[in-house]
Chain A
Amino acid sequence: MESANLTHNEFSELVNLYKNKVVNTCFGFVQQKEDAEDIAQEVFIEVYNSLSKFKNESTLSTWIYRISVNKSLDFIKSKNRKKRFAFVQSIFNKQDEALPITDENSNSGDEILEVNEQKEALYAALNKLPENQKIAITLNKFEDLSAKEIAQIMDISLSSVESLIHRAKENLKKYLYHFYEKNLK
Chain B
Amino acid sequence: MKSEIMKESKEHIIRKVNETLNILDNVEKIEASPFFATRLEGKLESQMNSKSFFSFLFTPQLKLKPALIALIILINVVSISAFLMNSSVRSNHSTEISNLLETYAFDQTDYYLLTTNEE
Query: B32, A172: Cβ atoms under 8 Å?
Result: no
Query: B24, A141: Cβ atoms under 8 Å?
Result: yes
> Given contacts A16-B37, A180-B16, are A122 and B24 in contact (CB under 8 A)?
yes
Is A7 in contact with chain B by the CB < 8 A criterion? no
Is A149 in contact with chain B by the CB < 8 A criterion? no
Q: Interface range on chain B: under 10, 10 to 19, 20 to 34, or 35 or more?
A: 20 to 34
Q: Which of B43-51, B70-78, B83-91, B97-105 makes up part of the contact surface?
A: B43-51
1/0 per residue A19-49: CB within 8 Å of B?
1101110011000010011001100110010
Is A128 in contact with chain B by the CB < 8 A criterion? no
Chain A residues with CB below 8 A from B17, complex form: 173, 176-177, 180
1/0 per residue B25-45: CB within 8 Å of A?
101011111001101110111
Query: In residues 27-73 of chain A, which contact B (Cβ within 8 Å)?
Result: 27-28, 33, 36-37, 40-41, 44-45, 48
Q: Which residue of A lies closest to B12 (CB)?
A: A184
Q: Which of A84-92, A94-102, A113-121 makes up part of the contact surface?
A: A113-121
Query: In residues 149-182 of chain A, which contact B (Cβ within 8 Å)?
Result: 169, 172-173, 176-177, 180-181
Q: Is the interface of A mostly helix, strand, loop or mixed?
A: helix
Query: A40, B36: Cβ atoms under 8 Å?
Result: yes
Chain A residues with CB below 8 A from B40, complex form: 15, 41, 44-45
Chain A residues with CB below 8 A from B47, complex form: 45
Is B13 in contact with chain A by the CB < 8 A criterion? yes
Min Cβ gap A103→B in Å is: 12
Chain A residues with CB below 8 A from B30, complex form: 20, 23-24, 27, 33, 36
The winner among B21, B23, B36, B40 for most chain A CB atoms within 10 A is: B40
Name B residues whose Cβ lies closer than 8 Å to a Cβ of A: 9, 12-14, 16-17, 19-21, 23-25, 27, 29-33, 36-37, 39-41, 43-45, 47-48
Name A residues whose Cβ lies closer than 8 Å to a Cβ of B: 1, 12, 15-16, 19-20, 22-24, 27-28, 33, 36-37, 40-41, 44-45, 48, 113, 115, 118-119, 121-122, 137, 141-142, 169, 172-173, 176-177, 180-181, 184
Q: 30 A–B contact pairs at CB < 8 A?
A: A1-B41, A12-B37, A19-B32, A20-B29, A20-B30, A20-B31, A22-B32, A24-B30, A27-B30, A33-B30, A37-B33, A37-B36, A40-B36, A41-B43, A44-B40, A45-B40, A45-B43, A118-B16, A119-B23, A122-B20, A122-B21, A122-B24, A141-B25, A169-B21, A172-B24, A176-B16, A177-B14, A180-B13, A180-B17, A184-B13
